[in-house]
Amino acid sequence: MSRTVLTVGILIAFAVTAVAHTERISSSRAHDLATTYMMQYISLCGVVEAPISRATYWELPIHVGQAAQPAGAIQVDKRSGTVSYPQRPTATPQSLAAWEKSLEKRHK
Does 65 fall in a domain? yes
Res 107: pLDDT: 74
Give residue 28's identity as a one-letter amino acid code: S
Does 11 fall in a domain? no
Res 3: pLDDT: 59
Res 10: pLDDT: 56
pLDDT block averages, 10 residues each, the chain of length 108: 51 48 86 98 96 98 95 98 98 97 83
Give the domain extent around 64: 24-106
Residues forming beta bridges with residue 18, ordered by sequence position: none
CA distance 106 to 100: 10
Does 5 fall in a domain? no
Res 40: pLDDT: 97
Res 78: pLDDT: 98
Domains contained in the chain, number:
1
